[in-house]
């Protein structure tokens, strides 16, 4: 699939999708800021009493398991069911799946009971979600995953969704094949919450672009390009993680007006389900 990033960015800016993010309390502000900087409208309703109504009025829904709780699980189920009933795309970020039995159970429930447009996780989380052995320490993937493209396809087939496996090289997979995204910068790993922000980006693009595969590819490429632009100094001097975090958010907000390589050059199909 080809990716026209100019069109994708314009669709988000013109559509201003309202995205309800049920997310963790560590990165809630970062998630809200990224949704806004892409051109979406963030709302962070996480109360089971109102979240169904809020999601029904939205164009995107993010479910992030970063700080999972009994109340949070109920809220995410309520939000996801409302999204499904109202045709709102759901993006699931199964943070920390593979680290504890509780997270394994909640992630499996959300992915199985809800109609999920996309799942975004790191290499370890996507591997664990398919039932394979994964090395997840806390919420970080610390193992070696040489067959991550194959695993991502298996995850997409298992849950009938689009999958983003984030890592040194991001992989986007459907039940038919996998793409490698050659965009991003190592400095992105120095900031807590970039994984959460990628999930928020996918939810924002999915709220403006009907095709989930197209939206997920565009969001992942755009996110990586913003990471590169921030590291280059194009959005301010970078002296360490703190200044990089600021430059990165500025890069997200300014990417529409920046110069970047055509997105198609950053997307390469590396595996087909038929081979």
Q: Residue 176 has what pLDDT?
A: 93
Q: What is the dihedral of CA 114, 115, 121, 124, to 10 degrees?
A: 70
Q: Residue 7 has what pLDDT?
A: 95
Residue ranges of the annotated binding site for ATP are 120, 166
Residue ranges of the annotated binding site are 44, 120, 166, 193
Q: Are 93 and 223 in contact (CB under 8 A)?
A: no
Q: What is the pLDDT along the chain (275 residues), one digit of tens a residue?
A: 778 999 999 999 999 999 999 999 999 999 999 999 999 999 999 999 999 999 999 999 999 999 889 999 999 999 999 999 999 999 999 999 988 999 999 999 999 999 999 999 999 999 999 987 655 544 444 455 668 999 999 999 999 999 999 998 999 999 999 999 999 999 999 999 999 999 999 999 999 999 999 999 999 999 999 999 999 999 999 999 999 999 999 999 999 988 887 778 899 988 786 65
3-state secondary structure of 172: strand
For the chain, which domains are there? 5-272 (3.40.1190.20)
Residue ranges of the annotated binding site for substrate are 44, 193
DSSP-assigned states of every residue in 183-220: ---GGGGGSTTHHHHHHHHHHHHHTT-S-HHHHHHHHH
Handedness of CA 102, 114, 40, 3 (dihedral sign): positive
Q: Residue 253 has what pLDDT?
A: 97
Q: Residue 141 has what pLDDT?
A: 47
pTM (predicted TM-score): 0.93
Nearest to 121 by CA among 69, 88, 156, 82: 156
Q: Residue 131 has what pLDDT?
A: 84
């Amino acid at each position: 699939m080809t990716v026209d990033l100019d069109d994708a960015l314009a669709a988000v800016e013109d559509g201003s999708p309202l995205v309800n993010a049920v997310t963790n309390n560590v990165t809630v502000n970062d998630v809200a800021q990224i949704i806004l900087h892409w051109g979406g409208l963030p709302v962070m309703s996480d109360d089971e009493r109102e979240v169904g109504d809020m999601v029904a009025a939205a164009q995107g829904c993010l479910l992030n398991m970063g700080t999972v709780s009994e109340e949070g699980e109920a809220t995410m189920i309520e939000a996801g069911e409302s999204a499904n009933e109202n045709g709102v795309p759901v993006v699931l970020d199964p943070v920390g799946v593979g680290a504890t039995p509780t997270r394994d159970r909640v992630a499996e429930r959300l992915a199985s009971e809800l109609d999920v447009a996309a799942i975004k996780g790191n290499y370890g989380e996507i591997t664990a979600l398919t039932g394979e052995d994964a090395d997840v320490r806390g919420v970080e993937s610390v193992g070696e995953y040489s067959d991550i493209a194959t695993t991502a396809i298996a995850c997409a087939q298992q849950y009938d969704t689009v999958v983003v496996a984030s890592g040194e090289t991001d992989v986007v997979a459907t039940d038919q094949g996998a793409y490698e995204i050659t965009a991003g910068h190592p400095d992105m790993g120095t900031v807590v919450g970039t994984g959460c922000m990628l999930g928020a980006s996918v939810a924002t693009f999915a709220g403006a672009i009907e095709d989930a595969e197209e939206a997920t590819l565009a969001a992942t490429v755009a996110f990586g390009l913003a990471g590169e632009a921030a590291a280059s100094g194009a959005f301010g001097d970078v002296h360490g993680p703190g200044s990089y975090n600021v430059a990165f958010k500025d890069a997200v907000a300014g990417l529409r007006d920046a110069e970047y390589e055509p997105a198609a050059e950053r997307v390469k199909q590396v595996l087909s389900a038929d081979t």
